[in-house]
């Protein structure tokens, strides 16, 4: 059996992999939804865009559900604290996501222009709102979240929903939105042709430029934000003990890992190079390569946020000692071990059936196909 420290690090990495998988796979679905009102000028054009993701979007939700389940099982204290502190933000995401299944299933059932237009904007909301909120949440994590624990280890969040909408968090929200929109633009460009493809390319290139600018600005800004650093000795192999540490709040702390391990600079470089490469490849109409480059940008951006904070998962701005870390907010050794072996079995199955589904339904979606299949599901 793997030792406790190794499992703690593995599960930190696995949660990151699941978040990246969600951003790449369900992200391009959401990106297509974000671009939907702009790439489709007619009902037929919008149906083309919807049919590129319609057969896959619910399967891609597996990444989102699995990431939430992994967070609950591996980091139960983080799950409980985050979902209570970010309650209204999570409700906003949930309500936005409600538009997706209803929109995909019922949008084309009625031949009414107003009905379809309404659901098109519903799919836009379902695609645009979650990435924005998730980005804002990450921005708040980097600044610290106002929560603390009592003697019974019950967490209390002392902030408000409106406090989440601070300037830095809104900037990271734009980073997240641009990243997901780029993912959707490259995918849509690969699956369509003609004017729809041209508009998707314009949208993807625009999103890439926004991502490049905002990611750089956020990185420069982050260097002036007070981060967190553990100053006491922590038994990383010990049982979870949330309050048994000393944490200081100091400028430049989020950049410390890059100083200790300079190779980590490759991650933000990957984010920038992936976004720039995706834009250039879109202009060259090498759409599959552009999608790969966009996916690499997703890996770079999300990994940058993760390694900047390590070992912190959810810092507390109210009581820094109550900050949740990789070492003290995890489940038991046995729980992590059982879930690890289950993940080794089931994650490859998810990848295999997803790959098979995309292979079977590969190819361009065209206006002619939609006309020939007027009563298709989407």
Encode pLDDT of 189-198 as tens digits.
999 999 999 9
- Minimum mean pLDDT among 44-53, 237-246, 254-263, 332-341: which range? 237-246
The band of 93, judged by pLDDT with boundaries at 50, 70 and 90, is very high
What pLDDT, on the 0 to 100 scale, is given for residue 144?
92
Cα→Cα distances 241→14, 235, 287, 325, Å: 22, 9, 49, 10
Q: To the nearest whole percent, how much of the chain has pLDDT over 70?
A: 99
Side-chain-facing half-sphere of 291: CA atoms under 13 Å = 18
pLDDT in tens, 275-291: 999 999 999 999 999 99
Pair of tokens at residue 53: 């993701």
Mean pLDDT of 169-188: 97
What pLDDT, on the 0 to 100 scale, is given for residue 373?
77
Is the confidence at residue 110, as pLDDT, over 90?
A: no
Is the confidence at residue 376, as pLDDT, over 80?
A: no
Domain encompassing residue 215: 4-372
Mean pLDDT of 200-212: 96
The band of 131, judged by pLDDT with boundaries at 50, 70 and 90, is very high
Is the confidence at residue 235, as pLDDT, over 80?
A: yes
The band of 21, judged by pLDDT with boundaries at 50, 70 and 90, is very high
What pLDDT, on the 0 to 100 scale, is given for residue 290?
97
Number of domains in the chain: 1
Mean pLDDT of 130-142: 95
The DSSP-derived string for 306-341 is HHHHTTEEE-BSS-GGG-EETTTS---HHHHHHHHH
Residue 364 in domain: yes
Residue 378 in domain: no
What pLDDT, on the 0 to 100 scale, is given for residue 113?
87
What pLDDT, on the 0 to 100 scale, is given for residue 346?
86
Is the confidence at residue 207, as pLDDT, over 90?
A: yes
Higher pLDDT, 369 or 98: 98
pLDDT in tens, 312-325: 999 999 999 999 99
Phi, psi of 256 (to 5 degrees): -60, -40
Strand partners, 227: 250
Of 167, 147, 165, 168, the residue nearest 156 (C-alpha): 147
Mean pLDDT of 161-175: 94
Mean pLDDT of 148-164: 85
Cβ contacts of 57 within 8 Å, gap of 6 or more: 26, 29, 100, 104
What pLDDT, on the 0 to 100 scale, is given for residue 119?
93
Pair of tokens at residue 121: 């904007």
Residue 377 in domain: no
The per-residue pLDDT of the chain, averaged, comes to 91
What pLDDT, on the 0 to 100 scale, is given for residue 365?
85
Mean pLDDT of 55-79: 87
What pLDDT, on the 0 to 100 scale, is given for residue 309?
94
Mean pLDDT of 98-125: 90
What pLDDT, on the 0 to 100 scale, is given for residue 285?
94
Cβ contacts of 84 within 8 Å, gap of 6 or more: 155, 157
The single-letter DSSP state of residue 145 is B
Residue 118 in domain: yes
What pLDDT, on the 0 to 100 scale, is given for residue 107?
87
Is the confidence at residue 105, as pLDDT, over 70?
A: yes
Whole-angstrom distance, CA of residue 168 vs CA of residue 218? 7
What pLDDT, on the 0 to 100 scale, is given for residue 377?
64
Helices (H), the chain: 4-39, 43-53, 57-74, 76-85, 87-106, 113-143, 167-191, 194-222, 256-260, 266-283, 287-309, 333-360, 367-372
Cα→Cα distances 126→110, 175, 299, Å: 20, 18, 23
Residue 350 in domain: yes
Of 259, 295, 263, the residue nearest 277 (C-alpha): 295
Is the confidence at residue 134, as pLDDT, over 80?
A: yes
Residue 259 in domain: yes
pLDDT in tens, 343-372: 888 888 888 988 898 888 888 888 888 877
Strand partners, 247: 230
């Amino acid at each position: 059996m793997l030792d406790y420290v190794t499992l703690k690090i593995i599960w930190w990495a696995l949660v990151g992999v699941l978040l990246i998988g969600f951003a790449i796979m369900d992200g391009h679905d959401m990106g297509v939804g974000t671009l939907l009102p702009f790439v489709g000028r007619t009902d037929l054009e919008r149906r083309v865009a919807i049919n590129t993701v319609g057969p896959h979007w619910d399967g891609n939700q597996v990444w989102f559900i699995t990431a939430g389940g992994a967070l609950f099982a591996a980091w139960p204290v983080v799950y409980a604290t985050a979902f209570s502190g970010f309650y209204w933000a999570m409700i906003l995401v949930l309500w936005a996501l409600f538009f997706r299944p209803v929109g995909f299933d019922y949008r084309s059932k009625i031949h009414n222009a107003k009905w379809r237009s309404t659901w098109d904007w519903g799919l836009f909301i379902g695609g645009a709102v979650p990435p924005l909120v998730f980005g804002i949440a990450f921005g708040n994590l980097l600044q610290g979240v106002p929560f603390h624990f009592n003697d019974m280890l019950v967490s209390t969040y002392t902030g408000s929903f409106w406090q989440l909408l601070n300037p830095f968090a809104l900037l990271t929200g734009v980073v997240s939105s641009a990243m997901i929109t780029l993912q959707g633009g490259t995918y849509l460009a690969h699956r369509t042709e003609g004017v729809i493809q041209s508009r998707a390319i314009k949208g993807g290139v625009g999103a890439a430029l926004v991502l490049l600018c905002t990611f750089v600005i956020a990185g420069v800004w982050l260097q002036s934000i007070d981060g967190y650093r553990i100053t006491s000795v922590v038994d990383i192999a010990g049982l979870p003990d949330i309050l048994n540490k000393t944490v200081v709040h100091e400028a430049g702390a989020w950049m410390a890992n890059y100083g200790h391990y300079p190779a980590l600079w490759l991650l933000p470089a990957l984010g920038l190079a992936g976004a720039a490469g995706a834009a250039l490849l879109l202009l060259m109409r090498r759409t599959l390569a552009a999608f790969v480059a966009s996916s690499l940008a997703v890996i770079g951006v999300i990994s940058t946020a993760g390694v900047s904070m390590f070992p912190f998962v959810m810092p507390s701005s109210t009581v820094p000692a109550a900050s949740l870390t990789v070492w003290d907010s995890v489940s038991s050794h046995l729980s992590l071990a059982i879930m690890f072996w289950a993940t080794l079995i089931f994650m490859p199955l998810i990848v295999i059936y997803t790959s098979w589904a995309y292979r079977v339904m590969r190819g361009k979606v065209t206006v002619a196909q939609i006309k020939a299949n007027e009563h298709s599901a989407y």
